[in-house]
């Protein structure tokens, strides 16, 4: 099975998306009415384990009085998400914080509602004793998403640990974590940098094949030690169309509150959450269940998370300002 990282938006797509909006006149601006009784609404998740939060929020039933016809679905590709944002069809949708900021800065009008997952990157090793970034000196690291936020984050922690990413280690890039998993299990690279749920999938596949594999280093913990703010990188959350937000503030608040409750429920019901999310996500329930404890799950509003989001953006922008569209988004980006 291939574990996809399509939910991480590449820069070229962002630029193309911004140009398309300009050329077609699709910047949000038309008035959007408030939801009437019986109006349908879809909460769109990413095709990865953090979407268990949104699946539970919808399935819990606590939003029924606000939106009787509410459903949860998962966008299948970044093309589908971009089209949904441009057309206004996507009212509430999950995305990475840096992609949402890029949309916002390019005029797509995306507002960040919350953050649900605070770190999904892990170094996987065949050696049980690998615990320090410094120990990567001279090793080949298999990784994906070149020049995107996960790559930039890894380069940062290498530098913070005294290693030159271009000299002291060999970075062996592939397209996606899904491609990296079988390549690493077949022997390519000394260690592999994988996102959840690919790291969990790799562990499950390695166990079945009786191959040694360990979750060696949590990149989020390394990041937290450097920032002094604890193990938290605000990576994925829920975003909203601003016209929909203006017309339906009570609905947006209710959805966020349902996400908060869902996050608490998931922490006490890993297996049930995996089964629920697997009904929609392109992942088996056991992978989702075993992945969820490793996504640093904690649902916070974007306004509550602003200091951490801005710090995160500052760090990745220090290597590439274009990653979020050239500047930190202003206060209009943060709901709450």
The pLDDT tens digits for 142-181 are: 999 899 999 999 999 999 999 999 999 999 999 888 899 9
Give the pLDDT score at 14. 38
User: Residue 39's pLDDT is what?
Assistant: 84
Contact 44, 15 (CB under 8 A): no
Rounded Cα distance between 191 and 176, Å, is 15
Element (H, E) at 151: helix 149-160
Mean residue pLDDT across the chain = 90
Taking only the tens place, the pLDDT of each residue in 66-95 is 999 999 999 988 889 888 988 889 999 999
pTM (2 decimals)? Answer: 0.89
Give the per-residue pLDDT at 57. 98
The reported pLDDT for the residue numbered 181 is 95
Return the pLDDT at 20: 32
Q: Which of 252, 306, 232, 308 is nearest to 67 (CA)?
A: 252
Q: Which of 96, 51, 6 is nearest to 292 (CA)?
A: 51
Quickly state the pLDDT bin for 224 (edges 50, 70, 90).
Answer: very high
Residues 104 and 100: their CA atoms lie apart, in Å, by 6
Instruction: Tell me how far CA of residue 201 lies from CA of 122, 205, 206, 221, in angstroms.
Output: 12, 6, 8, 21
pLDDT greater than 60 at residue 5: no
Task: Determine the Cα–Cα distance for residues 257 and 120; give it in Å rounded to an integer.
Answer: 23
């Amino acid at each position: 099975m291939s574990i996809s990282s399509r939910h991480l938006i590449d820069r070229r797509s962002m630029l193309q998306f911004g140009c398309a909006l300009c050329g077609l006149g699709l910047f949000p601006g038309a008035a959007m009415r408030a939801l009437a009784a019986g109006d349908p609404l879809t909460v769109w998740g990413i095709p990865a384990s953090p979407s268990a939060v949104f699946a539970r929020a919808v399935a819990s039933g606590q939003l029924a009085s606000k939106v009787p016809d509410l459903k949860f679905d998962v966008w299948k590709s970044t093309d589908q998400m971009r089209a949904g944002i441009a057309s206004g069809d996507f009212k509430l949708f999950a995305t990475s914080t840096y992609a949402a900021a890029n949309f916002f800065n390019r005029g797509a009008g995306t507002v960040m509602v919350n953050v649900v997952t605070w770190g999904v990157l892990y170094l996987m090793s065949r050696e049980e004793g690998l615990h320090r970034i410094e120990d990567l000196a001279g090793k080949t690291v298999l990784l994906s998403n070149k020049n995107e936020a996960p790559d930039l984050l890894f380069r940062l922690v290498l530098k913070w640990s005294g290693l030159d990413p271009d000299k002291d280690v060999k970075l062996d890039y592939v397209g996606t974590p899904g491609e990296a998993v079988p390549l690493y299990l077949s022997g390519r690279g000394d260690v592999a940098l994988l996102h959840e749920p690919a790291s969990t999938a790799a562990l499950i596949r390695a166990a079945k094949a009786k191959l040694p594999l360990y979750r060696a280093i949590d990149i989020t913990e390394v990041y937290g030690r450097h920032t002094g703010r604890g193990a938290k990188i605000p990576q994925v959350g829920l975003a909203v169309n601003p016209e929909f937000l203006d017309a339906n503030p009570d609905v947006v608040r209710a959805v966020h509150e349902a996400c908060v409750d869902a996050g608490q429920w998931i922490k006490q019901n890993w297996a049930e959450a995996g089964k629920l999310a697997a009904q929609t996500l392109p992942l088996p329930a056991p992978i989702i269940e075993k992945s969820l404890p490793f996504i640093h799950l904690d649902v916070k509003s974007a306004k509550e998370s602003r200091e951490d989001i801005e710090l995160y953006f500052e760090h990745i922008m220090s290597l590439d300002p274009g990653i979020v569209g050239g500047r930190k988004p202003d206060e209009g980006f943060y709901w709450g």
